[in-house]
Structure 1
Amino acid sequence: MAMFTSDGLGRRIAYYRSIVRPKLTQRQLADAACVALGTVRKIERGERGVTDATLEAIAHALGVDPTWLRTDRDPALRALHHALPALSAAIAAYDMPEDGPTRPLPSLRAAVAEAVDWRLGAQYTRIVRTLPELITELTRAYHQASAHERSDLAALLVSAYRSADAAVYKSGALDLSARMVELMRWAAPEAGDPLLSASVAYVRTETFFAAHAHAPGLRALEHALDSAPAPNTPPEIATRGALHMRAAVIAGRARDAGVADSHLREARAFADQVTEGVYHGTAFGPDSVRIHEVSVAVSLGDGHTDRALTIANEWTPPLHLPAERRSGFYIELARAQLRSGVADDAFESLKTARRIAPQHTREHPWVREDAATLRRLKRADSESLTHFAEWCAAI
């Protein structure tokens, strides 16, 4: 396990502990991070090093990204990227897992639910450290299960693959992400839940985004809409609405304003019938649709950017939305602001995105592009901007 030296790290922990609201004592930080009080004291005094697991626990308790505390911030050395081979190995044995113990179904269900929460909260390093073993255990349990438990385990595998894929996709490991998606497509029919298959179609769109294959991606979503259950219950309504929401975004990337607007209208109509929430792992409701309106406007570009700015002037994402979705709103807004010539506002939006979901923001390619552009535009007062660009590997 990696051990980070105390060179400045203890001082940074003490600093962030003193500025969080409410301010934390050393004991409160120790309790929140599940670390011994003496350990926190020694770390802050610079008397001992810190393992990566302890550093992540302390950073999570402080509400900051672990890289804010580390001196070694080279993105190539981040834990997220180091863990990818273990994930690859876990899914490679999807049809022939090694023998070993498995927890009861309720325990596995709780572990997967925790991983889903990490995905929605953009806690990618937690995902990649935990999911290789969890996927291996779920795979073993699935192949050992009786017929009446196998469908439940297949559904848990889909959710676990999806959580792992979120971290993999954000890290830029697109080939590994595509393999995760294919395994979701393999496991979903085994679960016997058509809504789960529809949610996998939603996730599959990212492979089309990555390949800039917008027309095939739109066809795949429209096929999923044709196959989805009739929208009678809230989960069915939300699932169909989420597919329209996703279709609007990919139509926007294809610069097809008419199709994008048509899908947005459908998504709004379905959103008006449900409360904002997470349905089969996907956040959907009026607020989520509004965020996707911004995304579509940014993708459509000229003549539509003002729509994104108008939404942002009238509304901000509520705190009950998942962190990844809220940070995505500000990342999209920053791009609209940059295009509109308000560089200071764009930088503020990027910093807001970082405060909400640091790992999501740091790994987002648009953030790196926009931070590099902002730095070129604003060299005269670039110290804080340079720090931001270094943090997200834009320079």
Structure 2
Amino acid sequence: MLEEAEEIGRRARRARLRLGMPQADLAAALGKSQGWVSKMERGLIELDRVGLLNQVASELHIHPNDLIGRPYSSSPAENQWQVAAASILRELRRYDLAPVFDGTPRSSVVLWQDMKRLHRLRDAAANVAILRCLPDLFREARALAEVSAGHEREEAFAVYAVCCKFAHTAAHALGHPELVAMACERAAWSAQLSGDPLMPAVADWMRVWDMWATADWSDALALSDKALRSVQSEYDEGDPLALRLWGTLQLRAAVSAARAGNQRETEDRIGHARAASERVDAYVGAPVYDRHSLTFSAGNVEVHSISVALEMGDQTKALAINRRADVAVLERLPNSRRSHHHMDVARAWLWDGNRDKAVAELEKAERIAPQLIRNHPIARATLRKIVYAERTATREKLIRMSDRFHLDG
């Protein structure tokens, strides 16, 4: 892992040379100096912001996963998730063919009950377990759509669409770009057939995430606004699912704006998301089943506030927000979101020069969601920076000691 930064730099250099692009041209496109590009290619600079990583990959016309070598090589046992991913891809490719399913599919009500297990796995960041569940669910939902009509058929397609969302999230976490792209396409297809007025906006929410890979920040904002307009009337009426969707779309927009370097837009979007979270908290009525699997709350707004501050390079603001945050609210977040939060705080402390606190936060993140954090490029970059800094500090300490002992090497 310590050589990973050098390998990322070599991949960037090879991609640049394949394009016949001078270092100076890449530097100009990134808004950096030629010296910065030279150091990055030699592994002396970490790409420790997702926006920066995606921007470099975009200018080199490669996928970010190609730049960082993801999915990372591991043991055969740890690679078994790719078997499940291949099965899901097979189901998604044959989406418009008669499903291969033995017996009679269960009702949509029963399938939605099954989906609750996927929600729990998502909250625990158990992405491999999610992928293993999905092939059978895709087949059964598609079979139900084939043999039913009316509302039941629409609900079958709604289940299929949310299965696509789970596949999309897990594929992003594990690093499988083909599954990411196909899950997003099939989500859009099934959302239109679902009869759920909010589901197409959920598919757009997924597409925004994919636009980040190519650093299309303006398009990501435009798509977020398109999705927001499509659910505005339901949001205004106070529909509890629309409140969650509208808020989480604003958080997507905030991240896009932050990566574009637009601070005012970022703050506006966070403000809109906070207003939505207040409406969610103020809701009075029957318990609402979050069928779209969009975890949205006041805590979610706070951790995104920290994340976008870091995307704009402001660790002082990120740490200040973290100090003010209500710990009890953050503790109610699912493991997947809490681990991301601690990873972000680790980055903030590292940039602030406190390696001990950075290590402590990274350890918290790993304890909460080990699979997610060990496979996350920013967590890996943060750990590498800490290790390199420790090595440098130790080396300098030994040199000073050698001088005191009058050792001449």
Task: Please say whether Structure 1 and Structure 2 have the same fold, judged by a TM-score greater than 0.5.
Answer: yes
State the SS of the aligned residue for 2:281: coil
Amino acid at match of 2:387: R
Question: What's the counterpart of residue 95 of structure 1?
Answer: 96
- In the alignment, does 2:317 pair up with 1:307? yes
Q: 2:370, 2:156 → 1: CA distance?
A: 32
Match of 1:193 among 179, 184, 196: 196
Amino acid at match of 2:191: A
- In the alignment, does 2:276 pair up with 1:270? yes
Question: What's the counterpart of residue 352 of structure 2?
Answer: 340
Per-residue CA deviations over 1:164-223 (Å, capped at 9, x if unaligned) read 221111111112201101111111121122222222222222101222221111111011
Q: 2:149, 2:211 → 1: CA distance?
A: 36
Q: Is the 8 A contact 1:205 1:217 kept in 2?
A: yes
State the SS of the aligned residue for 1:318: helix
Mark the runs of 5 or more structure 1 residues left unpaired by the alignment.
Answer: 1-71, 383-395
Match of 1:370 among 367, 382, 389: 382
Question: What's the counterpart of residue 281 of structure 1?
Answer: 293
State the SS of the aligned residue for 1:83: helix
Q: Equivalences for 1:101-180 in 2 at 5 Å?
A: 101=103, 102-180=105-183
Match of 1:251 among 234, 252, 257: 257
- CA shift for structure 1 position 248: 0.4
- CA shift for structure 1 position 143: 1.9
Question: What's the counterpart of residue 24 of structure 1?
Answer: none
How many residues are treated as equivalent by the alignment? 309
- CA shift for structure 1 position 75: 7.6
Question: What's the counterpart of residue 357 of structure 1?
Answer: 369
- In the alignment, does 2:247 pair up with 1:217? no
Q: 2:376, 2:76 → 1: CA distance?
A: 13
Q: TM-score, normalised by structure 2?
A: 0.71
Amino acid at match of 1:353: A
Per-residue CA deviations over 1:227-253 (Å, capped at 9, x if unaligned) read 213222232222212111110011111
Q: Is the 8 A contact 2:112 2:159 kept in 1?
A: yes
Does 1 or 2 have the higher relative contact order (CA < 8 Å, sep 6+)? Answer: 2
Question: What's the counterpart of residue 183 of structure 1?
Answer: 186
Q: 1:333, 1:342 → 2: CA distance?
A: 11
- In the alignment, does 2:86 pair up with 1:85? yes
State the identity as a percent.
28
Match of 1:323 among 307, 316, 335: 335
Per-residue CA deviations over 1:275-332 (Å, capped at 9, x if unaligned) read 299843111121111111011101011xx22111012223335332111111111111
Q: 1:149, 1:251 → 2: CA distance?
A: 40
Q: 2:289, 2:321 → 1: CA distance?
A: 23
- CA shift for structure 1 position 357: 1.4
Give the greater-gyration-radius structure (CA).
Answer: 2
Q: 1:259 to 1:75 in 2, by over 3 A?
A: farther
Q: 1:313 to 1:99 in 2, by over 3 A?
A: closer
Q: Is the 8 A contact 2:191 2:200 kept in 1?
A: yes
Mark the runs of 5 or more structure 2 residues left unpaired by the alignment.
Answer: 1-72, 283-287, 395-409
Q: 1:314, 1:261 → 2: CA distance?
A: 17
Q: 2:330, 2:254 → 1: CA distance?
A: 22
Question: What's the counterpart of residue 236 of structure 1?
Answer: 242
Q: 1:300, 1:244 → 2: CA distance?
A: 17
Q: TM-score, normalised by structure 1?
A: 0.73
Amino acid at match of 1:191: S
- In the alignment, does 2:296 pair up with 1:290? no
Amino acid at match of 2:385: T
Q: Is the 8 A contact 2:127 2:174 kept in 1?
A: no
Q: 1:252, 1:242 → 2: CA distance?
A: 15
Amino acid at match of 1:359: Q
Larger mean CA deviation between 277-286 and 346-355 belongs to 277-286
Q: Is the 8 A contact 1:195 1:229 kept in 2?
A: no
- CA shift for structure 1 position 381: 10
Q: 1:351 to 1:244 in 2, by over 3 A?
A: same
State the SS of the aligned residue for 2:330: coil
Per-residue CA deviations over 1:246-266 (Å, capped at 9, x if unaligned) read 100111111111111111111
Question: What's the counterpart of residue 64 of structure 2?
Answer: none
Q: Equivalences for 1:4-19 in 2 at 5 Å?
A: none
State the SS of the aligned residue for 2:106: coil
Q: Is the 8 A contact 2:160 2:190 kept in 1?
A: yes
